[in-house]
Amino acid sequence: MAITDNNVLHITRFSSLTKWSAHDVVFENTKNRFPLVPLSKVLKRVKEPVNIDDDTLYKRITVRLYGQGVLQRDELLGKEIGTKRQFLAHAGQLIISRIDARNGAFGIVPSELEGAIVTNDFWLFDVQNALPEYLMLILSSELFQKYWQTQSSGTTNRQRVDAESFLDSRIVLPDCDKQKNLVEKYITNIKDANLSDIQAEDTNIDLVNCLFTELGIVERKVETPTTIISFTAFSNLYQWGVDKITTSFPYEFTKYKAFSFGSKPTWVKTILRGKSPKYSANSASVILNQKCNRTDYIDLSYAKTVDTVWLEMFDKACLTRENDILINSTGEGTLGRASLVTKEYEGLAYDSHMLLLRVNQEEVDPQLIVDLINSPFGQKQVELNKSAQATKQTELGVDNTKRILFPLPDLSEQKRISAIVKEKKNRIGALHKSAEDLRRQAKREFEEAVFGEA
């Protein structure tokens, strides 16, 4: 095996290798630009043990995958923590989850987590001779991630990285001034990406305000109850539950009278619950589930395969059609999420955690219904109408969906409002895409500057 290092040729026999090392191959094209330095010269392993005291409050750390940050997991009294011997983390240290290292679970401990604790499944390092920000960019680079993939051990997706191999691996390390310049340029590019995201968020707020203004939806001021006992007329009850009875409807309508699908049956053709599937790993047939149903779009990458014979028994009239509305009917965080079925997603089955709403398009614009359900106006009604079970699995259901109110003008006006909303959504999509492109560009320019040929 021939490897060049500073323009000198080295030949190593495979029989002489004590451990397969991938980093020389991975970084082969980088050696003419900046020196390669072992991580042991940059990182110093720190183990500062602490015995957990029952009466002391401790912050615990979680490390997000793919270099997405170090966050506070929770804050607990010592008596609630099972592992009594843990380790102190300090701001500025590099922290690595040895279990999820292959998936980029590493980051720099932020100042607000100074003195937090971690178990032995996390490594902590003091950073020396390198800027922590530069080190993060190197470790999250595509080249180093490929190297880590070769170094992890284990039989599952949660494979551990060997500490000795990790510290033996080499990184590209310019002098501190060059590191600073590279990091500053990267941060400048990321600021541009963040600005696009801020503009997208501002446009989203404008979208909601526009939707509310066009339809005359006004949020009521929440008044704090002044009495301990409150009375509700039985005739005004629409659902049992203290939270349902004591919570007043948070919106009023100034332009159009609001109706529900239950009170305006001509608006709806059918509302259906999906079926519990019979899965099959070897099938080409798929069924939609909650993960497939994103906010205002469908993602088939989350679909699961089902038994073809079982699928043939699915009533063809109940399969998705263009302009049907899919609504997630169970689950915290996904409940009430809605999307419109477009032509390419016709003829699909959906599982029992989803509802299909088919409106009368001679009276109702389905896209406007999707926009209203996904808006704060619709999501608040989902929250008010949902039912909760002992298992903590919340449920929207067909009957509860029929209670959601919509203040709709005539169909031509609905379509005009939908067109305005669509234009704003397109603007939001373009801004988010610009942000993603700018982040990719920032990463690409950094990696080209560091790893590219001289």
Domain ranges within the chain, ordered by starting residue: 2-173, 217-253+257-408
Copy the structure tokens of residue 282: 């070897």
pLDDT confidence of 399, banded at 50, 70, 90?
very high
| Domain 2-173 in this protein, CATH class | alpha beta
Q: What whole-number distance in Å separates Cα of residue 292 and Cα of residue 302?
A: 5
Question: Higher pLDDT residue, 142 or 27?
Answer: 142
- On the CB side of 215, CA atoms within 13 Å amount to 35
DSSP state of 87: E
Q: What is the mean pLDDT of residues 429-434?
A: 96
In this predicted structure, the answer to whether residue 453 has a pLDDT above a threshold of 60 is no
Q: What is the mean pLDDT of residues 75-100?
A: 92
pLDDT value for 192: 94
Q: What is the mean pLDDT of residues 421-443?
A: 95
pLDDT value for 222: 62
Q: What whole-number distance in Å separates Cα of residue 137 and Cα of residue 107?
A: 10
In this predicted structure, the answer to whether residue 13 has a pLDDT above a threshold of 60 is no
Least confident stretch, 179-188, 202-211, 240-249, 369-378: 240-249
pLDDT value for 7: 37
Q: What is the mean pLDDT of residues 282-304?
A: 94
Least confident stretch, 171-175, 286-290, 331-335, 386-390: 386-390
pLDDT confidence of 93, banded at 50, 70, 90?
very high
In this predicted structure, the answer to whether residue 454 has a pLDDT above a threshold of 70 is no
Q: What whole-number distance in Å separates Cα of residue 102 and Cα of residue 149?
A: 6
Give me the chain's average pLDDT, please: 85
In this predicted structure, the answer to whether residue 100 has a pLDDT above a threshold of 50 is yes
- Which burial class, exposed, middle or buried, applies to 57 when counting CB atoms under 10 A from its CB (0-12, 13-18, 19+)? exposed
Q: What whole-number distance in Å separates Cα of residue 119 and Cα of residue 83?
A: 8
In this predicted structure, the answer to whether residue 246 has a pLDDT above a threshold of 60 is no
Q: What is the mean pLDDT of residues 206-228?
A: 83
pLDDT confidence of 30, banded at 50, 70, 90?
low
pLDDT value for 163: 72
Least confident stretch, 140-144, 319-323, 383-387: 140-144
| Domain 217-253+257-408 in this protein, CATH class | alpha beta
Least confident stretch, 148-152, 183-187, 271-275, 422-426: 148-152
Strand 117-118 relative to strand 85-88, pairing:
antiparallel
- Is there a contact between 277 and 351 (Cβ–Cβ < 8 Å)? yes
pLDDT value for 159: 53
Give the global pTM: 0.75
Whether the domain at 2-173 and the domain at 217-253+257-408 fall into the same CATH topology: yes
pLDDT value for 15: 35
Closest CA relative to residue 359, chosen from 408, 395, 394: 408
- Is there a contact between 93 and 109 (Cβ–Cβ < 8 Å)? yes
pLDDT value for 378: 96
In this predicted structure, the answer to whether residue 188 has a pLDDT above a threshold of 50 is yes
pLDDT confidence of 171, banded at 50, 70, 90?
confident
pLDDT tens string 140-169: 888 777 776 666 554 444 455 667 777 888
pLDDT confidence of 23, banded at 50, 70, 90?
very low
Least confident stretch, 10-19, 137-146, 179-188, 441-450: 10-19
Closest CA relative to residue 87, chosen from 53, 106, 115: 115
pLDDT value for 105: 83
